[in-house]
Each structure stands twice: as C-alpha cells, then as structure tokens.
Structure 1
Amino acid sequence: MDRIPQIKQLLLATPNDSFLKHALALEYIKIGDDVAARQQFEELLAYEPTYVGSYYHLGKLLERAGDNAGAISVYEKGMSMAKAANERHAYNELQSAYEELVY
C-alpha cells in the first residue's frame, strides 16, 4: 500500500508532526521525488531545527542534485544542532558525510 496518502492523512490532524514530515520526505525519496522530499525536509527543519536526523537526508539529497555548497551548509548546521543536543551518533554521521564531500 502506498504510504504517502496515509502519512498525508495523518498530517491533516497534526500538521507540525516532525516525525510524520520526516517519514513523508523519506517516502518521496523512495519514489524519486527529490523536489517534494526537499520541501518536506526544509519545512520540518524551519519549524523544528533540532530534528537532527533530517539534516543528513537533506544533505544527501542536495548532493545528488549537485548542490555541494548547499549540502555542506546543511551538514554544518546539522552538526551544530547535534552537538548542542549531545546526539553523538547523529553528529558522527553528519561529520562523516561532510568530510566525504569536503576532503
């Protein structure tokens, strides 16, 4: 069953649910709709910049689109947020992605 309509239906009741927005963005990535995925990630991070898991996926999406500068910026912001939240695993993932791109 297509999960996108299900997630959208749930978002009608809770439009600012960061978990649902993140899940919807991942579903869009699965079907190759990076534009819609990017929109979801950007809306989510504008509303809840501490949702650190989305920085990695948004950065990878930007890399695929050839926007390396944008990806670097997203990784840097994500690392900053992960460090502030003491989320070491997320920080390490973001740092690894950042270093692969920069070095």
Structure 2
Amino acid sequence: MDRLEQLLQFYQEDPTDAFTRFALAQEYWKRGDTAQALRFFEELVRDHPDYVGTYYHLAKLYRTLGRLEEARRTYQQGIEVARRVGDAKSLAELQDALMALELGEE
C-alpha cells in the first residue's frame, strides 16, 4: 500500500481529521494533482480555520498556479489567524511569504 492509499484509508476512517486532510493535500500536490490538493487545502481552511499551517501551503499553491490575488488573500487570512492563536513562528513565515509575493520574489 503506497502513501496515498494509506492516507485515503485514514480519511475514510475519519474524514474530519485535520492532519490527514493536510497530508492528503500535500501528497496530491507532490504527485502533481493540484486540483485535489486545492480541494483538500480549501476544505481544511473552511472546516478547520485555526489549522494555521494550511494557509501558507494553500497560498503557495495558489501562487504556483498564478492565482496571485488568492495567494495574497490567503497569506493575509493566515496572518490574522496566526496572530489570534499566538503562533509567532507561523506568523513570521506568513509575513515573509506575503512580502516576497508583494516584491515579486520566489
């Protein structure tokens, strides 16, 4: 059983588990299935808005797809959430990523 199959089995057992959904999004992205990656990241932000790490990765995927306004908005939302939950490390990473986007850097 490969990693994706394992994750899908975990997902079937508990489709609400944030970590499994995040791992599925990452695995789909790694395999080049950006549609499925987007689906899981977007659902995760909707269903688990305090799962701070999602914002960075979703915004990065939007940026990779050339959807820069959505990337900007997602970074900004992540910054707000990171502040609210007191996650200083994620806050700094999201701020740096937003600045890089604004400056047109990779």
Displacement of 1:13: 1.2
Matching residue of 1:36: 36
CA distance, structure 1, for counterparts of residue 16 and residue 44 of structure 2:
8
CA distance, structure 1, for counterparts of residue 81 and residue 16 of structure 2:
19
CA distance, structure 1, for counterparts of residue 11 and residue 36 of structure 2:
15
CA distance, structure 2, for counterparts of residue 2 and residue 36 of structure 1:
17
Matching residue of 1:94: 94
Matching residue of 1:77: 77
Q: Equivalent residues in 2 for 1:1-103 (5 A)?
A: 2-103=2-103
CA distance, structure 2, for counterparts of residue 43 and residue 88 of structure 1:
24
CA distance, structure 2, for counterparts of residue 46 and residue 74 of structure 1:
12
Aligned length: 103
Letter in 2 for 1:87: D
Letter in 1 for 2:40: Q
Displacement of 1:73: 0.3
Displacement of 1:2: 2.2
CA distance, structure 2, for counterparts of residue 34 and residue 92 of structure 1:
26
Structure 2: 5+ residue runs without aligned partners? Answer: none
Displacement of 1:14: 0.8
| Structure 1 outlier segments of 4+, above 2 Å | none
CA distance, structure 1, for counterparts of residue 28 and residue 12 of structure 2:
18
Q: TM-score, normalised by structure 1?
A: 0.97
